Structure 1
Amino acid sequence: MTYMILILGFAMLIKGADYFVEGSSNIAKMLKLSPILIGLTLVAFGTSSPEAAVSIRAAMKGSNGIALGNAIGSNLFNISVVVGITAIVNPLRVERETIRKEIPFTLLSTFLLLILIMDIKLQLFHKNQLTRADGLVLLSFFTIFIYYLFELAKNSREKKEEEDVVNISTGKNLLFTIGGLVGIIIGGELVVRSSTQIATDFGISETLIGLTIAAIGTSLPEMITCITAAAKKHSDIAVGNIVGSNIFNILFVLGTSACVTPIQVEEKLFVDVLFMMGYTTILLIFSKTQHKITRAEGILLFLSYVLYIVYSIGLRS
C-alpha cells in the first residue's frame, strides 16, 4: 500500500507540475516574454514545485534527510541525467548570457550552501545544520536572482505576431495553474509520508531516500519538459529550465525549508554537495565549448550519474 501511495504521489506531482507549467507558460507567452526568460522563471519554478512541496513538507515533519537530500539529489539528477538525456536527443545550444551569468550564479549558490552547512569546521559548533538564519541568507540571494530576472524581463520582451499568441482564455490558464499547484501540494504530502515509511521499513537513511527515490521522482517534470523542448528544438528553454530549477532548489526550497525548521546535516552529505559543485562546473565547461552540449557530453553526464548512485549507496550502506 505504501508503494501505491508513493506512485500516486509522484503521479500527482508530475501531472500537477504539467498543468502548472502549461497554465503559467501560456500566461507568460501572452505577456510576450522571451523563451529563455520563460525557461528560467515559470517553467523552471513550475517543474521545481514538486521539490519545494516535498522538501518543505519534510522539514515541517522533521524529516531532515528527505528535506535536504531531495533538493541536492534533484540538482545532481538534473545536471547529469536530464541534461545528459536531453543532449542525446538533440545537442543543447546554450545562450551566451546563460554561460556568463546564470550557470556561474548556480555555482555561487552551491558554494554558499557548502559554507552555510560547515558549522563544525568554520564556527566550531557541535553539529552541522542549516539554521533559520542560513535560510534567510539563501532567500536573500534568491531575491537578488529574482531582481536579475525582472531586469532580464524588461530588456528581453519580444514583439510577437498575433498568431503567435496562445489562443486560450486567461481564466482557463489560471485554473490550470491553481489546479496544478493543489495537485503538487497533495502529491508532495503523499511522497513524504510514503518515502519516510519505506526508509523506516528497510532501515535505510532518509537522506539516501531523498537523494535517490524522492529526487528522481520529483525531477521527472524537468526531464519531460526538457526532452520535449529539445525535441522541438527549443534548447534555450531546456537549458534555462535546468539552471533555473537548480537555483530555485538551493536558494528557495532549502531557504524556505530551513526557515520552517532548522535542518540537521549529516557528515556524509558534504560529499553530495561537492558532487553538485563538480557537476555545475562540468556543465559550465561543456557549455563553453562551441556554446552547446553535444551528444557525447550528454552520454558522459548520464553514465557519471550511474557511478554516483553506486558510490552513494555504498557510502551509506
Structure 2
Amino acid sequence: MEYLLLIIGFVLLIKGADFFVEGSSSLARFLKIPSVIIGLTIVAMGTSAPEASVSINAALAGNNDIAVSNIIGSNIFNGLIVVGICAFISGFKTDKDILKRDMPVNILITFILYIMIANGKISRIEGILLLVGMIFYILNMIRDALKKRNECPSEQSIPLYKALLFIISGLAAVIFGGNLVVNNASQIAVSFGVSQNFIGLTIVAIGTSLPELVTSIVATRKGDSGLALGNAIGSNIFNILFILGMSATISPLHILSESVIDCGILLISGILLFVFAFTKKSVSRMEGAVCALAYIGYTAYLFIR
C-alpha cells in the first residue's frame, strides 16, 4: 500500500505542478508583470507551504530542532538540486533582476541566519526581525511589479477565474501529493532499517521541497526559466524570513550544533550558485550537474555524520 500511495503522490505532484505553472504564468500575463515576479512571490510561497506546515507545527509542539533543520535542508536542496536539475535539463540565462537583487538577498539573509544561530538559538526578537525583513522584501516585489507593468506586452491568456482555479487546485494537488510522498517514503525507509535522524535530514527535507522541484522542472520544460529560478530563490528567502521568523516568534528556537554546520554549507551553496549565475549571466548544463553532484556529496556526509 505504501508503494501505491507513493506513486499516487508523485502523480499528484506532477499534474498539480502542471496546472500550478499554467495558472501562475497566465496570472502574470493577465496582470502584465514578469513571470519571474510571480515565481518569486505567489509560486515561491505556495510551494513552500509544506515547509511552513512542518516547521511551524514543530515550533508549536516544541520540536525546535526539526523546525530549523527542515528549513536549512530544504534550502540546500532548492539551491543545488532544484536549480541544478533545471539547468541540466536546459541551460538558461539568468534573469538580471534575480542576479542583482534576489540572489544577493538570499546570500545576505543566509549569512544573517548563520550569525543568529552561532550562539545556539534564535530568539523571539530575532524572529520578529526576520518577519519585518519579509515585509520589506514583499513590498519591494510589489513596487517592482508595478514599475514593470508597462514593459510587459499584453498577451492572450486564459480567463482570470480559470487561472486562479488552476493555481488553487494545482497547489492543493502539489501539497497533498508531497505529503503522500513524504509519509510513505518515510515508512518504506523505516522498513529497510534507515535511522529516523537520516530520514528527517533527507526524506523530510527533500519531500517538503518536492513542490519546488516539480514546479520548477515543469516551468523549465515550458520554457519559463524565469519562473523556475524565481521559484527556487524566492522559496529560500521565504523559508528563512517568514517560516523561521514565524517559528521563532511562536517559540524561541534552540539550535543543534549540526545545524550550524549545515547553515554554513547552505551559505557556501548560495555563493556557488551566484558565481555560476554571474559568469556569462547564465547557468549551463555542466554547472547544473556540478550542483547536483555537490548535493549528492552533502547527502553522503549526512549519512556518515
Task: Say yes or no: TM over 0.5.
Answer: yes
CA distance in 2, matches of 1:41, 1:204: 36
Q: Which residue in the other structure is 1:80 paired with?
A: 80
The residue aligned with 2:301 is: 311
Quick one: distance in 2 between partners of 1:103 and 1:96? 10
Question: Relative to 1, partners in 2 of residues 1:289 and 1:25: Cα closer, same or farther, differing over 3 Å?
Answer: same
Counterpart of 1:232 in structure 2 is 222
Aligned-partner residue type, residue 156 of structure 1: K
Question: What is the total number of aligned residue pairs between the two structures?
Answer: 304
The TM-score, its normalising length taken from structure 2, stands at 0.85
State the 1:26 CA deviation: 3.1
Match of 1:142 among 123, 134, 137: 134
Instruction: Report the Cα offset of residue 295 of structure 1.
Output: 1.3
Match of 1:123 in 2: none
Q: Deviations over 1:172-229 (max 9, x none)?
A: 44444445566677778878888998999969455x4343111111212222222222
Could you tell me the TM-score, scaled by structure 1's length? Answer: 0.82
**Whole-angstrom distance in 1 between the partners of 2:175 and 2:78:** 21
* Residue-by-residue CA offset, 1:45-86 (whole Å, 9 max, x unaligned): 222222222222222233323321221111111111111111
What are structure 2's unaligned runs of at least 5 residues? none
Map 1:193-208 → 2, pairs under 5 A = 204=195, 208=198
Provide the rounded CA distance (Å) in 1 between the counterparts of 2:11 and 2:128. Answer: 32
| One of 245, 257, 260 as aligned partner of 1:270 | 260
- Match runs of 1:114-133 below 5 Å: 114-119=114-119, 128-133=120-125
Within the candidate set 233, 243, 247, 1:243 is matched to 233
Determine what percentage of the aligned residue pairs are the same residue.
43
SS at structure 1 position matched to 2:257: coil
For 1:107, give the aligned amino acid: I
Alignment of 1:10-25 (within 5 A): 22-25=22-25
For the aligned residue pairs, the C-alpha RMSD in angstroms reads 3.1
| Distance (whole Å) between structure 2 residues aligned to residue 139 and residue 129 of structure 1 | 17
Deviates more, 1:231-240 or 1:109-118: 231-240
Structure 2 partner of 1:57? 57
Displacement of 1:2: 7.8
Find the aligned partners of 1:161 and 1:71 in 2 and give their Cα distance.
37
2:267 partner amino acid: M
Matched with 2:110 is 110
Distance in 1, Cα, partners of 2:61 & 2:188: 15
Whichever residue aligns with residue 229 of structure 1, its letter is A
Query: What does residue 37 of structure 2 align with?
Result: 37
AA aligned to 1:97 is D
Tell which deviates more after alignment, 13-22 or 300-309. Answer: 13-22
Residue 291 to residue 189, structure 1, CA distance change in 2 (3 Å): closer
Alignment partners' CA distance in 2, 1:65 and 1:19: 34
Partner of 1:167: 158
> Following the alignment from structure 1 to structure 2, what is the Cα–Cα distance between the partners of residues 135 and 114?
14
CA distance 1:203–1:86, shift in 2 (3 Å): closer
